[in-house]
């Protein structure tokens, strides 16, 4: 084994590749390539993450940009194939569940190049989520499924993927969080946004199921308006969500909310760490709040990260104004009782990147 080609494309991939690249750099003679598909391309969605995470400039940027799922996935495949022909790595390492993940896994698998999937085995069992289709297909294609938690191994076994192709390595996102937590704390983002020293809520919403329907988005924004009457609500907003609020004419409901452009990784962690509660539909924030011991309310019917509920601070709630308000009130009561403590599921220990590399080098 002498070369790895890591593929990233969208914001949540960047935090996952960083500890793996770092662990790989410590292996003598190992050649590593970093390919960015360009699925995310705004400075706020991409470049600032590379800077915060100390990632190298990608060897190749495919520059695919936005499009429908079919267009985006197809463009990634078309652009990736010649790169693979040129670099001929021993392994293609894909991360998470975005369109870039499945597109590059498929190209590599068809060329007989081995595929490793980091963050394998997660399942929401909701096939209306584009990410769920990406997860199912990528794990079927992968020669090595590297899971973040034991439920991932169980899910893969139930789908007939043999145990020899599966390895529990733990959570690479947590490696990054533990590495940069102190730096994020020192950044003091709460003070910079005028919310230090008092209760505030940190909010993100970007899933199509929450933001692409005016009635659902209206319910969520209504709840945020109610919450803003109690404490500042800091909402760094994904470009997709900002666009939908404008399209649906819902701007008035967001008047009392502090809407920010997308934040960097360090600013995000700095704000999450001190928040009274987090209200979100993000996957990564469910994990980060668990490790930080910050209560998290996830407005989704399901989660592919069940350990954040059973061992962490996360709770699933409906995307309804009344349901959100009730859940917020319960969190504030429980918080006053000191009921939230940091959770560390198995393998969420800051060494997952090293275990990914160990698994690849051993094979």
Which residues sit at the interface with ligand UD1, rule CB under 6 A?
10-12, 39-42, 45, 66, 97-99, 130-131, 206, 238-240
User: Which is nearer to ligand UD1, 8 or 228 (by Cβ)?
Assistant: 8
Q: Supply the minimum distance, in Å, between the C-beta of residue 44 and ligand UD1.
A: 8
Q: Which of these is catalytic: 206, 213, 238, 341?
A: 206
Task: Tell which residue, 336, 295, 313, 328, has the closest CA to residue 223.
Answer: 328
User: Which is nearer to ligand UD1, 165 or 240 (by Cβ)?
Assistant: 240
Reported as type and span, the H/E element at residue 86 is helix 69-87
SS3 assignment, position 76 = helix
Q: Is the Cβ–Cβ distance between 319 and 299 less than 8 Å?
A: yes
User: Which is nearer to ligand UD1, 239 or 323 (by Cβ)?
Assistant: 239
| Helix runs in 257-306, H state only | 265-274, 284-292
The whole-angstrom separation of Cα 353 and Cα 159 is 26
Q: Is the Cβ–Cβ distance between 130 and 101 less than 8 Å?
A: no
Q: Supply the minimum distance, in Å, between the C-beta of residue 196 and ligand UD1.
A: 27
Long-range pairs for 205-208: beta carbons < 8 A, 24 or more residues apart: 205/235, 205/238, 205/241, 205/280, 205/281, 205/299, 206/238, 206/240, 206/241, 206/281, 206/282, 207/129, 207/281, 207/300, 208/130
Tokens standing for residue 330: 């319960």
The whole-angstrom separation of Cα 254 and Cα 57 is 37
User: Which is nearer to ligand UD1, 52 or 131 (by Cβ)?
Assistant: 131
The whole-angstrom separation of Cα 102 and Cα 288 is 24
Q: Supply the minimum distance, in Å, between the C-beta of residue 26 and ligand UD1.
A: 29
Give the position of tokens 């007989």: 112
- Known catalytic residue at 213: no
The whole-angstrom separation of Cα 141 and Cα 152 is 16
User: Which is nearer to ligand UD1, 89 or 283 (by Cβ)?
Assistant: 283
User: Which is nearer to ligand UD1, 52 or 354 (by Cβ)?
Assistant: 52
Which residues, other chains included, contact 110 with Cβ-Cβ below 8 Å and sequence gap of 6+? Answer: none
Q: Which residues are catalytic?
A: 206
């Amino acid at each position: 084994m002498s070369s790895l080609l890591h593929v990233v494309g969208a914001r949540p991939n960047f935090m996952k590749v960083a500890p793996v690249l770092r662990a790989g750099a410590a292996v003598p003679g190992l050649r590593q390539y970093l390919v960015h598909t360009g699925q995310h391309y705004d400075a706020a969605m991409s470049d600032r993450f590379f800077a915060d995470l100390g990632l190298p400039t990608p060897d190749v940027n495919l520059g695919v940009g936005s499009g429908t799922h079919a267009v985006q996935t197809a463009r990634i495949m078309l652009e990736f194939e010649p790169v693979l022909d040129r670099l001929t790595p021993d392994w293609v390492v894909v991360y998470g569940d975005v369109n870039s993940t499945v597109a590059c896994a498929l190209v590599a698998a068809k060329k007989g190049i081995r595929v490793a999937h980091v963050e394998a085995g997660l399942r929401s069992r909701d096939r209306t989520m584009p990410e769920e289709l990406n997860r199912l297909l990528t794990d079927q294609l992968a020669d090595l499924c590297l899971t973040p938690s034991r439920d991932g191994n169980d899910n893969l076994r139930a789908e007939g993927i043999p145990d020899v192709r599966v390895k529990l390595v733990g959570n690479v996102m947590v490696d990054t969080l533990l590495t940069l937590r102190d730096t994020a704390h020192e950044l003091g983002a709460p003070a910079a946004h005028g919310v230090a020293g008092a209760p505030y809520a940190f909010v993100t919403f970007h899933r199509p199921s929450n933001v692409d329907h005016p009635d659902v988005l209206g319910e969520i924004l209504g709840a945020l308006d109610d919450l803003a009457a109690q404490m500042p609500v800091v909402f760094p907003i994904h470009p997709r969500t900002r666009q939908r609020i404008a399209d649906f004419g819902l701007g008035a409901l967001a008047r009392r909310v502090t809407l920010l452009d997308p934040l960097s990784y360090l600013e995000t962690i700095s704000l999450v760490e001190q928040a009274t509660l987090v209200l979100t539909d993000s996957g990564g924030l469910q994990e980060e709040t668990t490790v930080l011991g910050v209560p998290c309310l996830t407005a989704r019917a399901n989660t592919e990260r069940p350990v954040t509920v059973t061992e962490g601070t996360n709770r699933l709630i409906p995307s309804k104004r009344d349901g959100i308000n009730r859940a917020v009130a319960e969190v504030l009561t429980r918080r006053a009782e000191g009921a939230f403590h940091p959770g560390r599921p198995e393998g969420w220990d800051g060494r997952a990147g090293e275990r990914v590399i160990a698994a690849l080098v051993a094979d």
